[in-house]
């Protein structure tokens, strides 16, 4: 497995993160069988793919990207499909998350504190 595969696994893990988080409202508190099962499958798949990505990528970077994809994707999903508000301040905060992730990648492992 190479660096590119690590990123591929990580992006797929992030997509599964968005999928399971987006299904949560349909589970009705995990009282509805099929949405609950789909949610669990995508959650498990997301964590599994994350575990494959950290074979090649630093854990801190991979986890930050995974959570960032989940956060961005879920906020966008909520805004587009659930009618949740997405104001200027929320947009700025999301850009700060992206900036932090890019910063982690640019700094890399060799940075001395």
What pLDDT was estimated at residue 49?
98
pLDDT by residue (tens digit) across 69-110? 999 999 999 999 999 999 999 999 999 999 988 888 888 765
Say how many domains are in the chain. Answer: 1
Cβ atoms of 70 and 14 closer than 8 Å: yes
* Strand, coil or helix: 83: coil
The answer to the question of residue 17 being in a domain is yes
Mean pLDDT within 57-75: 95
Is residue 74 domain-resident? yes
35 band by pLDDT with thresholds 50, 70 and 90 = very high
pTM of the model: 0.86
For residue 80, CA distances in Å to 21, 23, 42, 65, 73 come to 14, 14, 21, 22, 10
**Residue 112 forms part of a structural domain:** no
The residue range of the domain holding 42 is 3-107
């Amino acid at each position: 497995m190479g660096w590119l595969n690590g990123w591929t696994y990580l992006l797929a893990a992030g997509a599964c993160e968005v999928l399971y988080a987006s299904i949560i409202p349909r589970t009705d508190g995990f009282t509805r069988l099929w949405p609950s099962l789909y949610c669990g499958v995508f959650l498990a798949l997301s964590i599994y793919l994350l575990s494959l990505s950290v074979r090649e990528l630093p854990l801190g970077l991979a986890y930050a990207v995974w959570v960032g994809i989940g956060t961005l994707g879920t906020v966008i999903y909520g805004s587009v499909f659930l009618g949740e508000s997405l104001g200027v301040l929320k947009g700025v905060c999301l850009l700060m998350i992206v900036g932090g992730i890019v910063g982690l990648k640019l700094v890399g492992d060799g940075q001395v504190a």
